[in-house]
Amino acid sequence: MWHWLEIALIFLIFQDYTQSLRLVEVRIPNYVVKGSSAQLECLYDLDGESLYSVKWYKDGNEFYRYVPRDMPPAQTFLLPGVSVELHNSSDAIVTLRNVNLQSAGRFRCEVSGEAPSFQTVTEHGDMVVVSLPDQGPPKISGARPRYQIGDWVRINCTVGRSKPAVELSWFVNGEPAEPRTLRKYPSVLSGREGLETSTLGLQFRVEQHHFRNTDMKLKCVASLSTLYWRSNEESVEGDRPQKAPVLESRETVYASNSRADPVQASKTDSHLVAHAPSLLLLLLVATAIASGCLEQLHMWQQLFGKRQPTLRLHDKLKQQQQQQLQQKHHPSQTPKQTQPQICISKPQTMRVMKAAAGSNSTVTCRNPSSAVAVIIINKIAIIKTTIII
């Protein structure tokens, strides 16, 4: 019993020691875009041995064989999703053209040595055929143009019709979104090929730190290995609450400026209208004192009793001045007045403003009554000027 075990052990050790066929590497692309070509490589080292055959299998089914002693040495076997380009294939390389979703699977390379050992080595790898999204970059939905602090952001990123499903990720202001803010949704299958539509949601409450330079950037990235990378970004404005005192102050100032002129004008006009009778009355009283009651009553009749145009006060004054001149040069023709008159000569000169007297002339008086009249007229002018200002 022990004798046979020793012989078997020696045989195995000797076989491992003398084994020369070695499989160096099997290269199978992990991802291939639908419609493109793919190269499968099987690198081996005979180390003095003779090659008997190289065979390729997909999911356990042979689709390519290379035997150096056969003519032609390469041959293919029909298999759904596998189309070999013979003129671009050899013992070490197999080229697949126009791959489709059925081309995906596990590929295995098997290398065998010549007799008498017929040593065989094998290795495998998986290939995924990718159908890229056919609807452009990812789409962001649900975003608003403005957000305030305290608002909720509820948006989705969707990429449709791909195989396998595209990997989605969210970024807020260039930083990866926190996992707790992500909302994952199951993929939606469509079509005979089972293309998948992927959606990833983002939900969080807006805080102060989310705004940078008064806006917030929300970016969605869709990727699939090294074959596909697309992104879409939404830049939303931050509608921050303004400082209430500043706004109220500005509104108050603007309202005051816009209403000040009409209000002031209307106030001045109302004062003038309200004081007009008093001004006329005072002016007439002063004139009566200076020129005599009878003549003043006659002027009142002209001002208020008739609607015909009447002479202004400065015209009356001018007539009185002319009468004074006539009395001076022809005293015999004009009787002496018993009432004090306004005169144009001699000392105490008091200027009556044009606004009150209606004339630029200087009115002077020689008697107390005339002086009082002029003082009253001067006061009326001051009151009128004050009201207008």
**pLDDT at position 265:** 38
- pLDDT range class, residue 178, cuts 50, 70, 90: very high
pLDDT tens-place string over residues 93-144: 999 999 999 999 999 999 999 887 789 999 999 999 999 997 789 999 999 9
Least confidently predicted of 54-58, 60-64, 170-174, 301-305:
301-305
Whether 4 has a pLDDT exceeding 80, the answer reads no
Average pLDDT over residues 261-290: 51
pLDDT tens-place string over residues 287-304: 655 555 445 445 545 544
Least confidently predicted of 20-24, 167-171, 205-209, 330-334:
330-334
Contact 285, 372 (CB under 8 A): no
To the nearest whole number, what is the mean pLDDT of the chain? 74
CA distance 233 to 217: 7
**pLDDT at position 311:** 46
Which residues are CB-neighbours of 178 under 8 A, at least 6 positions away?
204
- pLDDT range class, residue 193, cuts 50, 70, 90: confident
Which residues are CB-neighbours of 14 under 8 A, at least 6 positions away?
none
DSSP tag of 343: B
Whether 11 has a pLDDT exceeding 90, the answer reads no
To which residue do tokens 């197999």 refer?
Answer: 94
**pLDDT at position 313:** 52
Whether 210 has a pLDDT exceeding 80, the answer reads yes
3-state SS class at 246: helix
Q: Which of 200-204, 263-267, 274-278 has the highest mean pLDDT?
A: 200-204
Please, what are the domains in the chain? 19-130 (2.60.40.10), 139-238 (2.60.40.10), 246-388 (no CATH)
Whether 25 has a pLDDT exceeding 60, the answer reads yes
**382 is written with which tokens?**
């001051």
**pLDDT at position 134:** 79
CA distance 40 to 263: 92
Whether 41 has a pLDDT exceeding 90, the answer reads yes
Residue 176 parent element (H or E): strand 175-176
CA distance 175 to 183: 17
pLDDT tens-place string over residues 223-257: 988 889 999 999 998 765 554 433 333 333 333 33
- Identify whether 72 is preceded by a cis peptide bond (ω within 30 of 0): yes
- Give which of 385, 386, 383 is closest to 279, Cα–Cα: 383
Contact 40, 93 (CB under 8 A): yes
- pLDDT range class, residue 364, cuts 50, 70, 90: very low
**pLDDT at position 362:** 46
- pTM for this model (two decimals): 0.52
CA distance 338 to 293: 11
CA distance 60 to 77: 13
